[in-house]
Amino acid sequence: MSVQMIQQRLLSYNCKTDIEEQQAIREITQEVVLAALGRGNFFKHALFQGGTCLRIFYGLNRFSEDMDFILQKPNAGFQLKDHLRHLTDELAAYGYNIEITDRAKADSAVKKAFLKDNSLGKVIDLQHGKKTGPLAKIRIKLEVDTNPPTGSGQELQYLDFPFVSAVAVQDKPSLFAGKIHALLCREYSKGRDWYDFIWYTSQGIGINYAFLSSAINQLGPWKDQGITVEKTWLLSELKKKIASLNWKQAADDVRRFVRANEQPSLDLWGKKLFLHQLDKLKQAIQ
């Protein structure tokens, strides 16, 4: 019965291509993982964040590969493996033969694990992809920041698939603050970040300045400079970043994460579009 639940969930996506089908299976798996983590009391300690959080709980219209979390309070002794042990059995009930590789390093604040499955495509009916091969394989990375920036807001969200479960997540102003930190401080340009920027600015979402200031001072080119982020500084730095990027490369980065009917919109990406979105941000924030 549980395998049929996965099958029905996949059909509900109405995928048009093999890539869309692959991304849908990954997202369905992410939901099962979240529910299993919730059953194991993971969210008493951690908050869900990042693009996958935005996709599942807030309606972002792009797929996302990884699952990112931060602890609610810094804890250098946190052990991710304590929360991974029961995932194999939980996922097996839904047809997965999951392999979990714990890549956590004792001296690293960010704990990592990789989930792999090569068998799900053999037990469900794929409409576009083959039952074996690259598109039938699932790869998901889990990351937990055990020493996160301070000042995050949070709220409780609920999943109703594969069973009802509660997930503690960052609120939208904190998620936006984390995304802006990535836009300004990531060592390389990532088109998915800028896709999310369009979503946030179109929604008129505010910014958690306390969380952003903490992140800016913790990691990146302004580390330990004691910067208190405010509107004028932020708009100036974002304008510089927008002027510096290769927008064709940025659009190409995000193409495989959006549905076919949205592909033409990526051809509009350029400095003018993002300065337009920056003006929207200027009107929305204090």
Mean local confidence (pLDDT), 261-276? 96
Residue 250 has pLDDT above 70, yes or no: yes
pLDDT tens sequence across 3-23:
888 888 888 888 888 888 888
Confidence at residue 103, expressed as pLDDT on a 0 to 100 scale: 82
Listing DSSP states for 35-80 in one string gives: HHHHHTTGGGTEEEEHHHHHHHHH--SS----EEEEESS--TT--T
What lies within 8 Å, CB to CB, of 23 at 6+ separation is 63, 257
Instruction: Tell me which of 233 and 137 has the higher pLDDT.
Output: 233
Interstrand relation of 138-145 and 165-170 (parallel, antiparallel or unpaired): unpaired
SS3 of 206, please?
coil
Mean local confidence (pLDDT), 86-90? 83
41: left (phi over 0), alpha (psi -120 to 50) or beta: left
Mean local confidence (pLDDT), 53-72? 94
Mean local confidence (pLDDT), 121-142? 63
Residue 122 has pLDDT above 80, yes or no: no
Compute the half-sphere exposure of residue 115: CA atoms within 13 Å on the CB side of its CA: 27
pLDDT band of 125, cuts 50, 70, 90: low
Instruction: Tell me which of 94 and 121 has the higher pLDDT.
Output: 94
Amino acid at 92: A
Confidence at residue 249, expressed as pLDDT on a 0 to 100 scale: 96
Confidence at residue 152, expressed as pLDDT on a 0 to 100 scale: 98
Please count the other Cβ atoms lying within 10 Å of the Cβ belonging to residue 264. Answer: 8
Confidence at residue 132, expressed as pLDDT on a 0 to 100 scale: 47
Confidence at residue 66, expressed as pLDDT on a 0 to 100 scale: 92
Residue 230 has pLDDT above 90, yes or no: yes
Which of these ranges, 85-89, 151-155, 208-212, 252-256, has the smallest mean pLDDT? 85-89
Confidence at residue 167, expressed as pLDDT on a 0 to 100 scale: 97
Give the separation between CA 238 and CA 280, rounded to whole angstroms.
13
Run of H or E residues at 145: strand 138-145
Percent of the chain with pLDDT over 90: 66
Give the separation between CA 204 and CA 281, rounded to whole angstroms.
7
Residue 65 has pLDDT above 90, yes or no: no
Q: In terms of residues, how long is the chain?
A: 286
